[in-house]
Amino acid sequence: MIQQIILKSRPSGFPTPDNFETKSIENLPVANGMVRLKAHTFSVDPYMRGRMSDAKSYAAPYSVGGPIVGGCIARVIESQAEDFKTGDFVMGYLPWQEEIVIDVTGLKVIDENLAPLSYYLGILGMPGLMAYFGLLDIGKPKEGETVVVSGAAGAVGTVVGQIAKIEGCRIVGIAGDDTKVNYLLNELHFDAGINYKTITDLSSAIASACPSGIDIYFDNVGGEISDAVMSHINYGARIIICGQISLYNATSQPTGPRVQSALLKNCALMQGFLINNYASRFPEGIKALSQWVGSGQMTYKNTIYHGFDKLPEAFIALFSGKNLGKLIVEVE
Amino acid sequence: MIQQIILKSRPSGFPTPDNFETKSIENLPVANGMVRLKAHTFSVDPYMRGRMSDAKSYAAPYSVGGPIVGGCIARVIESQAEDFKTGDFVMGYLPWQEEIVIDVTGLKVIDENLAPLSYYLGILGMPGLMAYFGLLDIGKPKEGETVVVSGAAGAVGTVVGQIAKIEGCRIVGIAGDDTKVNYLLNELHFDAGINYKTITDLSSAIASACPSGIDIYFDNVGGEISDAVMSHINYGARIIICGQISLYNATSQPTGPRVQSALLKNCALMQGFLINNYASRFPEGIKALSQWVGSGQMTYKNTIYHGFDKLPEAFIALFSGKNLGKLIVEVE
């Protein structure tokens, strides 16, 4: 028997351990074209909160009673499929299970000699690609421009900041504790960092950190942090809506200052985007990110939980803002 | 002596007659390179409300004690400038004065045989160009898509709707009285029209009028009308922020439902724009609009006030939503 974690009930507001349940399921034989995988590292990501609700969205909701599914790196421990050898590591969207027998469609073999395995869930995976296409394709940064990123010390924000530096921009990060801000300044070479939890006047702090105003705002969090940013955007500003983690647990429609007048006065653009729109260009993004990582121009950190049973706790921790870099759960 | 209308005080909230004052000024001689103009038709436009405030914006504020300036068609009654003959009609941005002696820089001779004079302030002027570039360049309509326009019976909205029809879209107009809605349906051939003032549930009415959702929202008004529209946008929607007339008289920062989550879930774009960004392409827009007008594919209406002293009253009327089509003041 193997362990599986299912969605027991849909969260109302913040997710809690009660929303999850561990159950034992049968181990199955490996049919032709299939592999048996042993989970190695799970990715927990903010978008998964959306799939726990039944509101209309871009991704189908998880079923109550069904498994949680997310990004995962696993090891092939038995194979009846061509191109997949025992011992290979693969990356895919897999249910929260210790082991699984699965058709190989959608699985991708990854090479642990090219980059640490966990990077395939982070800087070389979805978060890195979100930073890459969001900043470069929507933001179109120009040398000397000022870029502000919220959730700056997270899985996406740390990549946004480093790409912005490579592009010759002034990069200002907003994060929720001093350890994160120090990391941004000292290890990622951000030009300025703001701890929004300790600052008394966020708008003034942003104004000080952005003496030439804001040309690009890469928004991972939404809410009051974004309100403060919006009052400092420049003419022609680009606002990239990548995430709104501060609002994902809201139980009613969030309200706040209307943004349309600021967009109008500044001829500014606000664009929501989903990474799957860029699927045909993933190889381009992965190539560029791999080169930056390989040359040492970019670095990446994980916050790691250990043990299959820690998955719910790790997922819930996303919303308390405790993780620096990518939050992952190692199970092997 | 000639009459001039000045900004006596900055409006707080809705403008009132007290914010304006008429004074008499000297008539000047016409120096070389100059013309004497007699005002013929003034344009009153929502953006002028912004210039009455001293808040930072794209256009410099009017000075208290100085003249109001806006779009105007005038007749040359004396000329010391090449290319400007007595009797010519010109279009320019002119102070609210019965007559003016002015350098010809910025004046453009217009031809009353090509189109009615007033059209140069409307469908062939700034409002028409806003509709043209906003809808086509930002909205990029595709045949069969659904376009919603707010302020649909106004100077910009009536042009937006007619271009959308020409592009093969389903066009739904939101306006503030039944006369306007009937005009949209019967004379401009909109597919549906909604009177937001008499409908009990605007969101349901929009859903009924847009059975395939909304691909493009051309926003002239903002506020609660836009809130209702935003809950029906489609994946890949484009929201063009052309005006926010419902908010121009707000005395504090307007608040409302946050739009970022809807933009994110739908990979939607929201873009503010100012017509001057398109200055280099005005000839293209005027040519296309002129052809549509000339061929009878497009029609245009004015709401006309008569008399120089009616300028403040006409301007104030913009914000009560009484005008159908372009609001102008004829003084000759």
Q: In whole angstroms, what is the distance from residue B135 CA to residue A195 CA?
A: 41
Backbone angles phi, psi at B237, to 5 degrees: -65, 150
Decide if pLDDT at B59 tops 90: no
Statement to judge: residues B76 and B115 lie in one domain: yes
A286 within a domain of the structure (yes/no): no
| A138 and A240 Cβ atoms separated by less than 8 Å | yes
| A198 and A176 Cβ atoms separated by less than 8 Å | no
Statement to judge: residues A154 and A234 lie in one domain: yes
Give the chain A residue nearest B50 (alpha carbons): A265
Give the chain B residue nearest A263 (alpha carbons): B272
User: Which residue is associated with the tokens 């909701």?
Assistant: A61
Statement to judge: residues B232 and B171 lie in one domain: yes
Residue A130 belongs to domain spanning? 126-276
The one-letter code for the residue type at B18 is D
Contact A270 B274 (CB under 8 A): no
| B304 and B331 Cβ atoms separated by less than 8 Å | no
Provide mean pLDDT across the span B258-274.
96
Q: Among B79, B87, B92, B103, which residue's Cα sits nearest to residue B42?
A: B92
pLDDT, position B204 = 98
Statement to judge: residues B6 and B118 lie in one domain: yes
pLDDT digits (tens, 9 = 90+) for A114-173: 899 999 999 999 999 999 999 999 999 999 999 999 999 999 999 999 999 999 999 999
Statement to judge: residues A79 and A143 lie in one domain: no
Q: What is the ipTM of this complex?
A: 0.94
pLDDT, position A267 = 96
| A66 and A6 Cβ atoms separated by less than 8 Å | yes
- Provide the β-strand partners of residue B42: B72, B329
Statement to judge: residues A161 and A244 lie in one domain: yes
Provide mean pLDDT across the span B266-278.
96
Statement to judge: residues A264 and A132 lie in one domain: yes
pLDDT, position B326 = 96
Contact B255 A259 (CB under 8 A): no
pLDDT digits (tens, 9 = 90+) for A79-129: 999 999 999 999 999 999 999 999 999 999 999 988 999 999 999 999 999
| A91 and A42 Cβ atoms separated by less than 8 Å | no
pLDDT digits (tens, 9 = 90+) for A37-79: 999 999 999 999 999 998 777 678 999 999 999 999 999 999 9
B282 within a domain of the structure (yes/no): no
Statement to judge: residues A254 and A145 lie in one domain: yes
CATH number, domain of A41, equals 3.90.180.10
| B325 and B300 Cβ atoms separated by less than 8 Å | yes
**B60 in helix, strand or coil?**
coil
Statement to judge: residues A236 and A194 lie in one domain: yes
Nearest to B269 among A226, A259, A269 (CB): A269
Contact B277 A271 (CB under 8 A): no
Give the chain B residue nearest A268 (alpha carbons): B272
Statement to judge: residues B139 and B106 lie in one domain: no
Count each helix (H run) and each strand (E run) in chain A, helices first: 9, 16
Backbone angles phi, psi at B322, to 5 degrees: -90, -20
B305 within a domain of the structure (yes/no): yes
A247 within a domain of the structure (yes/no): yes
Statement to judge: residues B272 and B188 lie in one domain: yes
Residues of A in contact with B265 (CB under 8 A): 56-58, 272
Rg for chain A (alpha carbons), in Å?
Answer: 20
* Burial track B159-169 (b if 16+ CB lie within 10 A, e otherwise): bbbbbbbebeb
Statement to judge: residues A133 and A230 lie in one domain: yes
C-alpha count within 13 angstroms, C-beta hemisphere, residue B3: 12
CA distance B241 to chain A (A): 6
| B110 and B90 Cβ atoms separated by less than 8 Å | yes
B285 within a domain of the structure (yes/no): no
**B130 in helix, strand or coil?**
helix
Backbone angles phi, psi at A169, to 5 degrees: -95, 160
A150 within a domain of the structure (yes/no): yes
Structure tokens at B293: 């007008």
| A181 and A175 Cβ atoms separated by less than 8 Å | yes
| B290 and B114 Cβ atoms separated by less than 8 Å | yes
A281 within a domain of the structure (yes/no): no
CATH number, domain of A143, equals 3.40.50.720
A284 within a domain of the structure (yes/no): no
Burial class (CB in 10 A: 0-12, 13-18, 19+), B74: buried
Number of domains in chain B: 2
